[in-house]
Each structure stands twice: as structure tokens, then as C-alpha cells.
């Protein structure tokens, strides 16, 4: 595999604070190429020989806005077995329901745009359902849970100009921890 030439914006870049725009279909060749590049990049970032060779930080999700493109598209690449992945290409997502139960990632959330350790918990819904369009513009619905639910919410926040660090209470980073379940 060859590492795609993509540049991920750093948290200091104001572009990350833009609200992404609705995507129209059909997708351009360029958008399809970016989707393929993101999938390849995320896979490589999760495979040891590649993340060591290219000095990559492992990541499972990336929104177009993180590349400076304000379009409502994000990709999640979930490793389901060693070097076997499930790809989610999510376009124009809308949350339609979510659980009452809140969860948080025990070791903390990370982000390919935030190049530092961040202490604190980010409250997320344990389960949620969204509608979205696939790469061909077809309407889809998906229900996600646990770590994939967290990843979807993290990327949907990006589409609205929100970073996970915004959701951590500055004065009390572990606020209400006892009201949530750690995953």
C-alpha cells in the first residue's frame, strides 16, 4: 500500500470550526478519490508496519473538513479482525434517535487534528441511529453502538465545527463520570 498524500489540519486551523455543507449527487471524481485516499490512510494508520514506517498516529475516522473541505462527509474504518476492516462512508448524516445511556472512552478520545494528549471525558450516547446517503446518493439508515457510536458522534461533531476538546469541562475534566459507563 502507498500512503496517500493527504494533509490533516491541526486544531489551531480555523477551517475546522466551519460548518460543513450538504453534499449533492453525483459525487465528483475528486470527492470519490478523496474518500478512497482517506480509507487507505485510516487502514494504514491502524496497521503496525505502516504506522511505524510512516510515523502515523492510529485513527479510525476522518471528516472532509479535517482536510479543509467543508462537505458533509466522514469516513470510519473499523478493524474487525487483524488487517480486516469495515468501512463506513457517511454523507449528509442526520441523527434520528439516541439512547438515554451515556458512555465515555476510558483512555480518552483522540483526534487526528489534535496532536496532544487531552485529559478528560467526552459524554457520548451509547447507541444512536442516523440517516445518511451512501456514495451513490441512496438514502440509508444505520444504528450504531458503543465505540462505533462514539466514532460517529465524534465525526458528526466535526461536520458542525466542534472538536472533542470542546466537550470536556475545562474546570472539571471528569465531571459526572459516575453517571456514565466507561468503554
Residue 141 sits in a domain whose CATH number is 3.90.45.10
> Residue 142 domain-assigned?
yes
Model confidence pLDDT, tens digit, residues 93-135 = 999 999 999 999 999 999 999 999 999 999 999 999 999 999 9
> Residue 4 domain-assigned?
no
> Residue 178 domain-assigned?
yes
CB atoms within 10 A of CB 173: 14
Give me the mean pLDDT over the 141-153 stretch: 98
d(Cα 181, Cα 106) in Å, to the nearest integer? 9
What is the structure's pLDDT at 24?
97
Our count of domains for the chain comes to 1
Cβ(3)–Cβ(50) below 8 Å: yes
What is the structure's pLDDT at 1?
87
In the three-class reduction of DSSP (H, G, I as helix; E, B as strand; rest coil), residue 78 is classed as strand
Which of the residues are catalytic? 155
> Residue 25 domain-assigned?
yes
Domain range holding 135? 14-182
> Residue 8 domain-assigned?
no
Model confidence pLDDT, tens digit, residues 33-58 = 999 999 999 999 999 999 999 999 99
Question: The pTM is what?
Answer: 0.95
> Residue 6 domain-assigned?
no
Amino acid at each position: 500500500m502507498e500512503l496517500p498524500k493527504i494533509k490533516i489540519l491541526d486544531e489551531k486551523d480555523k477551517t475546522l470550526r466551519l460548518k460543513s455543507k450538504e453534499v449533492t449527487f453525483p459525487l465528483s471524481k475528486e470527492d470519490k478519490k478523496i474518500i478512497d485516499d482517506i480509507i487507505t490512510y485510516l487502514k494504514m494508520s491502524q496497521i503496525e508496519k505502516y504506522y511505524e514506517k510512516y510515523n502515523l498516529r492510529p485513527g479510525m475516522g476522518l471528516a472532509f473538513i479535517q482536510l479543509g473541505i467543508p462537505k458533509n462527509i466522514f469516513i470510519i474504518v473499523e478493524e474487525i479482525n487483524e488487517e480486516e476492516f469495515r468501512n463506513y462512508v457517511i454523507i449528509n448524516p442526520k441523527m434520528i434517535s439516541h439512547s438515554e445511556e451515556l458512555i465515555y472512552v476510558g483512555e480518552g478520545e483522540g483526534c487526528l487534528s489534535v496532536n496532544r494528549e487531552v485529559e478528560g471525558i467526552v459524554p457520548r450516547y451509547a447507541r444512536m441511529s442516523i440517516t445518511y446517503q451512501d456514495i451513490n446518493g441512496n438514502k440509508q439508515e444505520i444504528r450504531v453502538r458503543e465505540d462505533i457510536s462514539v466514532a460517529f458522534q465524534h465525526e458528526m461533531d466535526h461536520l458542525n465545527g466542534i472538536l472533542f476538546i470542546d466537550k470536556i469541562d475545562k474546570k472539571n475534566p471528569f465531571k459526572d463520570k459516575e453517571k456514565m459507563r466507561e468503554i
